[in-house]
Homo-oligomer: A and B are copies of this chain.
Amino acid sequence: MLEVLSEHRSFGGTVGFYRHFSESCNAPMRFAVYRPPQIEAGPLPVLYFLQGLTCTEENFMVKSGAQRVAAQLGLLLVSPDTSPRKTGIPGEDDEYDFGSGAGFYVDATAEPWSRHYRMYSYVVGELPLVVAQNFPADSARAGICGHSMGGHGALVCALKNPGRYRSLSVFAPICAPSRTPWGQKALARYLGDDPEHWKAYDATELVSKGPIDLPILVDQGLADPYLAEQLQVDLFEDACAACGQPLVLRRQEGYDHGYFFIASFIESHLRHHARALTGQAEAD
């Protein structure tokens, strides 16, 4: 049962914000969908966009400008909130980088977070079903993209599920969370203190096991204040090179970590996904 929070006409299609009860998270969850004008033409490929720390289901739809390009390419866009909210877990709103707004796309195993913070299962399993039940989505043609914590999430979801996604790209991802401060803090509290358990949600560790059959597109701003300490794209680049994972890593001079950076390159990412999802030559 999907509750419509609001819908807005956008580039000939519709941006909508929705709420439903998530079985994975045992809590209400919100997500946003952009339906392009092509929905009349039948089931459309779906691109999931996972957002970063502090974001809600709104940021990507409000700030990226993606709808313009999705309307050209016929892509359905889906962007979930970054965590459950108001679960009643004490302290869930106290920190910007842990708890609400910071689910880190893991299935928490440590109490009390394991009761609700199961964003990995939500994104990979439950959300696609909810989307397929309520929108003209061709679930077999799904791509995934994300930014920062959501870049980590997109890489992890794709690397753990070969064949599930047909296209993958990320902006300024947290590439090695088991070795960097935001990641270590979150993984320790969601998964427990044993760093061995963190590797299951670390893109650099996952890709080291061997390549997946998808090229990975990464844009990383060189003026990003989090690059050296929190993101560490060099580690991921090295791991891809070592195992033969196809990677296009574009270091963007002068760009920082925010949505002005994402908006500048979102068209290029959507065309990357459309080439894989629709086979449109004109997507290039």
Contact = CB atoms under 8 A, between A and B. Distances in A.
Contact of A15 (B9, B62, B260): B260
Interface stretch (A164-172, A196-204, A251-259): A251-259
Given A11-B264, A67-B260, A67-B264, 14 more contacts: A8-B258, A8-B261, A9-B221, A9-B223, A9-B252, A9-B261, A9-B264, A10-B261, A11-B263, A62-B62, A62-B63, A65-B68, A67-B263, A68-B264
5 contacts: A9-B252, A9-B255, A62-B259, A63-B63, A68-B264
A183 to B, nearest CB: 25
Contacts of A15: 260
Nearest to A255: B9
Interface residues of A, number: 23
B8 A260 contact: yes
B65 A263 contact: yes
A11 B265 CA distance: 8
Interface in A106-148: none
Contacts of A68: 65, 263-264
Interface string A52-63: 000000000011
Contacts of A252: 9
A221 B63 CA distance: 21
Interface string A240-258: 0000000000001011101
The 8 A-B pairs with the shortest beta carbon distances in the complex, nearest first, are A65-B65, A9-B254, A10-B260, A8-B260, A9-B255, A11-B264, A15-B260, A8-B256
